[in-house]
Amino acid sequence: MLPEAENDLICHTGPGTPMGEALRRYWLPCLLITDLPENDGEPVRVKILGEELIAFRDTDGKVGLINERCPHRGASLFFGINQECGIMCIYHGWKFDVNGDCVDMPSDLPGSIFKDKVHINSYPCIESAGMVWTYMGPIDKKPAEPDLIFNRLPVNQVIATRVPVYCNYVQSIEGNIDPSHLGTLHRRIVDWTLETDDTDRPGTPSPNLRSYILAKYPYSEIQVQDTAYGFRVMGIRPTDAGNRHIRITTHVMPVCSMIGSPGRAGGAFIIVPVDDENCMRFFVRHNPDRPFSNPERESTLAENMMMDPTNPKIRLKRADNDYMLDRRVQKTTILAGITPNAEQDYAVTESMGPIYDRSHEHLYAADGGIIRFRQIMVSAAKGIREGIDPPGLDPSIPFHLIRSEETIVKADDDPWLAGADAGESAKPGERIW
């Protein structure tokens, strides 16, 4: 369990809160690049870390992220006109550029220099890996731009999606770093009829063998290893041939989880707080070896962005329609009765309520990664109050080498040697629980 005071500490991320100030020290995605498709296009509302903002792409293609409220009398700039390198408030014509400077004030007296004294809060933005990233912390503390593997790849080797999740960001992240739920939540009934195959040897298991192992061995030994950038959590399962199936998920501070998958390709979830009761789930699929085909891109987008066609701002499957749960499917096809996998994750994490009271839970050995995540986040929030920089910001960290892993190793092999390309220790991970 987590004491109520510490639960509040890590769940509240608005301006001035310790956790909010810690998160503002990192670059965070706030939009997809496709949300701002054209220069001088429509502005877009953005809510992140409890702040209501407006994003726009100016005449030169630069992205601006500024306070939604005009500093004159608080009218929303969402209704503003985006043209000639700035967004103009339709109330009195005050106009602001991507840096937040007031560049025009036609309603003021001719010759006045009052506009030079007016500035709106703005945040720097960059575009990378299909996403618009922003930094919301002190300018003198701005870290290096994000440099994970997918930040270095060409656009055709990355697929980025985002969907709203209707609960606190901590719940969503904890689902991503929990290897033990794979043996239950995402299992198909047919998985229990599968048979082992000849990939039960050191190396990458076949999809068939992976599903077979997860169904036959729903339990896993959990080990956790601290790293310079966050931590790694490993789920270890036996195989019929006497080997070990390992799945390493890498968590990069503060909110990026690279999900266990073979080799350099894979996927990452970046969970960004919208406010204390909602978050945005960015999913980045990447392949360093080749571009994605059009069918691969279309299927990834369809599976990970299931929005309601009658209201594309909300998800199709959600609490008020019970995630379209099918009880017949639950007993004949897939245990969750909900498809696809992402919707299963949303259903269980959102069912905990907007902010789960962790003082009521009962944790066990499989929760080692979740426990370590909470410890690190609590420490980061408390450190901010004491003037200590949060972890994982050292520019010497080889972020582009960080990866996850899913493989089979011999029974006497050190599993921590797998995926240890970014300077991680090769010694066995520390058991947290």
- Strand ordering across the sheet containing 95-96: 81-82, 87-88, 95-96, 102-104
What's the pLDDT score for residue 426? 73
Residue 136 included in any domain: no
- Residues 124 and 155 reside in one and the same domain: no
- Residues 167 and 306 reside in one and the same domain: yes
What's the pLDDT score for residue 405? 95
CB within 8 Å of 205: residues ≥ 6 apart: 199, 213, 245, 406, 407, 408
**Domain end marker among 79, 95, 129:** 129
- Residues 279 and 396 reside in one and the same domain: yes
User: How far apart are alpha carbons 26 and 137 in whole angstroms?
Assistant: 8
Q: Which domain holds residue 262?
A: 149-417
Contact between residue 220 and residue 199 where contact means Cβ atoms under 8 Å apart = no
What's the pLDDT score for residue 425? 80
- Residues 93 and 166 reside in one and the same domain: no
Average pLDDT of each block of 10 consecutive residues along the chain (433 residues)?
A: 93 98 98 98 98 98 98 98 97 98 96 95 98 98 97 97 98 96 94 96 96 94 94 96 97 97 91 98 96 96 95 96 98 96 97 95 93 97 96 96 96 92 78 52
Residue 12 included in any domain: no
Element (H, E) at 373: helix 368-385
- Residues 168 and 253 reside in one and the same domain: yes
**Domain end marker among 129, 164, 199:** 129
Residue 328 included in any domain: yes
- Residues 106 and 251 reside in one and the same domain: no
Determine the length of the chain.
433
- Residues 114 and 159 reside in one and the same domain: no
DSSP secondary structure string for all residues of 116-142: GG-B--EE-EEEETTEEEEE-S-GGG-
Helices (H), 162-243: 169-176, 207-216
CATH number of the domain encompassing residue 45: 2.102.10.10
Contact between residue 131 and residue 26 where contact means Cβ atoms under 8 Å apart = no
- Residues facing residue 270 across a β-bridge: 256, 282
**Number of compact structural domains in the chain:** 2
The pair of three-digit structure tokens given for residue 192, joined into one six-digit string: 């229990």
- Residues 167 and 229 reside in one and the same domain: yes
Give residue-wise pLDDT tens across range 296-333: 999 999 999 999 999 999 999 999 999 999 999 999 99
Contact between residue 353 and residue 171 where contact means Cβ atoms under 8 Å apart = no
Which sign, positive or negative, has the C-alpha torsion 29, 34, 38, 42? negative
Residue 161 included in any domain: yes
Displacement of CA 294 from its chain's centroid (Å)? 24
pTM for this predicted structure: 0.96
- Residues 125 and 153 reside in one and the same domain: no
Residue 140 included in any domain: no
User: How far apart are alpha carbons 258 and 247 in whole angstroms?
Assistant: 11
Residue 216 included in any domain: yes
- Residues 244 and 293 reside in one and the same domain: yes
- Residues 116 and 165 reside in one and the same domain: no
CATH number of the domain encompassing residue 320: 3.90.380.10
Q: How many CB atoms lie within 10 A of CB 398?
A: 12
Exposure class string for 197-209: b at 16+ Cβ within 10 A, else e: eebbeeebbeeeb
Residue 268 included in any domain: yes
Residue 243 included in any domain: yes
The pair of three-digit structure tokens given for residue 59, joined into one six-digit string: 């005449």
- Residues 398 and 289 reside in one and the same domain: yes
